[in-house]
Amino acid sequence: MSKPLPQETVNVLRTFNDISVEYYGYNCTLFILSNADTIDNLDIYATPEDKTYTEVATQVFLEWSPDTKRLRKLGIFTEDEIPILAWFKNTPKIPEIVRGSWFKIPLQYIPTQMDVDEFEIVDILVRGMGDKIALMGYKVVPRRVK
C-alpha cells in the first residue's frame, strides 16, 4: 500500500500539467455531457437528441500516437489500436468530464491522415493514485455523428 500523497505534491503535479497544456495545447471547445444519468436510464432507446451538453472554452494537449511503452506506464494495454490521449487544464470552471463528452479543435492542428475536427471521450485515465487524484487524462477517438 502506498503512502498518502501530500496535498502540496498533488497541487504541484496539477500545476505542471496546466503549464504543459497552456504552452503545448490547443484552444478547444469542450462539450460536457450533462445528463448522463438520464441517457443511461433510456438504455437502447436513447437518441442523439436526448443528450444535453455544457459548452466550455478551454485548452487540450493531444498525444496523437503514443508508443506502447508510454501506454503501459499509463496503465493502457492495447494490441492493434493506438489511442489518442487528451489532457485538459485543471480549472474549477470545468465540470466533471464524463464519457460521451466531446471537443472540437481547429483543423489546422490535426495530422493530415485525419479529416475530422471533433473527438469523443471514450475512457478516463486516472494518474497519481493514492488518496488523491493528481491528474486526469482521457482516451479519445474521432467523433462519429449520426
| Cβ(62)–Cβ(41) below 8 Å | no
Q: Is 1 part of any domain?
A: no
Q: Is 2 part of any domain?
A: no
- Residues 92-133: pLDDT tens digits? 777 788 888 989 988 776 766 667 788 889 888 876 566 677
Q: Can you give the pLDDT at residue 146?
A: 63
Task: Specify the higher pLDDT residue, 131 or 28.
Answer: 28
- Residues 41-78: pLDDT tens digits? 566 666 666 777 889 898 998 887 766 666 666 666 66
Q: Can you give the pLDDT at residue 31?
A: 92
User: How many domains does one find in the chain?
Assistant: 1
Average pLDDT, the chain: 78
pTM of the model: 0.76
Q: Is 132 part of any domain?
A: yes
- Domain span at residue 63? 7-116+125-142
Q: Is 102 part of any domain?
A: yes
What's the grid cell of residue 59?
485548452
